[in-house]
């Protein structure tokens, strides 16, 4: 009777082990399917990021084949170790333990340099295990890759936002930028007008030429200069092909600034007299 009970218990134990093995195999297959799906998802994200970076590179004038500068690894990652000693190979001045039953490998003394390499080779041939890299968990590596992909997306979005800003006064609004540019060009014209007034006072420039440049020539030059500056440095690298230049505002500022500056000069000159 005890033999039958032992047989039944053994059969139940084997059945439980078989079910556990089947469940483990099913769980492993499910885990592999999940890992494969995660790999395909990350691969699609990396392809999309590569296309996005190529587009940004072409926009700023960098060809896709240009090598990028080396970057450091993720925070907390250990630095690469070069020249790590192999287990069983003697290091300088320190005896290295060998396999069980062999003891410590002796160090060559003075004049025994030629024997160092044969001893190391014989130690390797004796079956001394070398250092092996730690086991890598695929799920952990995929999670790290997903985090770095999220970080790359965040930096790409920041780069696109920066690329949508013009090089000239990037934090200003288009209206404020246009006002600053047209006023700057008008200020240069005012300086030229004052030089022409001084030249007119000594008889180098006649009155007709002075008034023609003051009322039409210098304001037109200011308007055209502001228009060209906004078109060249007021255009974002990515986004609108034609930046807002506000020509009506520029016309009013340029064609009023120079005559008003001349009137102010006359009033100041008469007040000082």
Tens-digit pLDDT profile for residues 202-215: 888 888 998 899 89
Q: Would you say residue 201 has pLDDT above 70?
A: yes
Residue 230: burial class (beta carbons within 10 Å; 0-12, 13-18, 19+) = buried
Percent of the chain at pLDDT exceeding 70 = 71
- The dihedral through the CA atoms of 159, 164, 167, 172 has a sign that is negative
The answer to whether 116 and 108 have CB atoms below 8 angstroms apart is yes
Position 224 scores a pLDDT of 96
Q: Looking at 115-119, 182-186, 197-201, 258-262, which range is the least confident one?
A: 115-119
DSSP 117-183: HHHHHHHHHTTPPPP-PPPPPHHHHHHHHHHHHHHHHHHHHHHHHHHTS-SSSTTS-HHHHHHHHHH
Position 243 scores a pLDDT of 80
Give 61's strand partners: none
pLDDT in tens, 106-135: 444 444 444 443 444 444 444 444 444 557
The answer to whether 35 and 143 have CB atoms below 8 angstroms apart is no
pLDDT in tens, 158-195: 888 888 888 889 889 999 999 999 999 999 999 999 99
The mean pLDDT value for 56-85 works out to 55
Q: Would you say residue 35 has pLDDT above 60?
A: yes
Position 64 scores a pLDDT of 61
Beta carbons within 8 Å of 145's beta carbon, 6+ residues apart: 42
Beta carbons within 8 Å of 43's beta carbon, 6+ residues apart: none
Taking every pair of C-alpha atoms in the chain, what is the biggest distance, in angstroms?
A: 137
Residue with more model confidence, 218 or 203: 218
Q: For the whole model, what pTM was predicted?
A: 0.55
DSSP 232-254: HHSS-SSS-SS----HHHHHHHH
Position 239 scores a pLDDT of 66
For tokens 């200020």, name the residue: 187
């Amino acid at each position: 009777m005890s033999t039958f009970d032992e047989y039944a218990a053994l059969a139940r134990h084997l059945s439980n082990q078989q079910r556990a093995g089947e469940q483990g195999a099913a769980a492993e297959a499910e885990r592999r399917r999940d890992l494969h799906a995660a790999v395909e998802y990350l691969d699609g994200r990396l392809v999309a990021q590569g296309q996005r970076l190529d587009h940004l590179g072409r926009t700023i004038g960098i060809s896709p084949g240009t090598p990028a500068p080396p970057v450091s690894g993720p925070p907390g990652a250990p630095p690469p170790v070069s020249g790590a000693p192999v287990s069983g190979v003697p290091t300088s001045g320190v005896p290295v333990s060998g396999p069980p039953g062999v003891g410590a490998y002796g160090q060559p003394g003075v004049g025994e340099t030629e024997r160092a390499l044969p001893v190391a080779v014989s130690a390797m041939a004796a079956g001394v295990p070398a250092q092996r890299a730690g086991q890598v968990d695929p799920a952990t590596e995929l999670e790290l890759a997903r985090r770095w992909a999220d970080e790359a997306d965040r930096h790409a979005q920041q780069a696109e936002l920066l690329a949508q800003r013009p090089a000239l006064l990037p934090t200003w609004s288009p209206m404020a930028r246009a006002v600053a540019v047209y006023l700057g060009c008008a200020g240069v014209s005012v300086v030229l007008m004052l030089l022409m007034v001084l030249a007119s006072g000594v008889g180098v420039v006649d009155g007709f030429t002075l008034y023609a440049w003051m009322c039409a020539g210098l304001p037109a030059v200011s308007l055209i200069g502001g228009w060209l500056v906004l078109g060249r440095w007021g255009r974002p690298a990515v986004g609108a092909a034609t930046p807002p230049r506000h020509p009506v505002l520029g016309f009013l500022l340029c064609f009023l600034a120079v005559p008003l500056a001349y009137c102010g000069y006359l009033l100041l000159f008469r007040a000082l007299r």
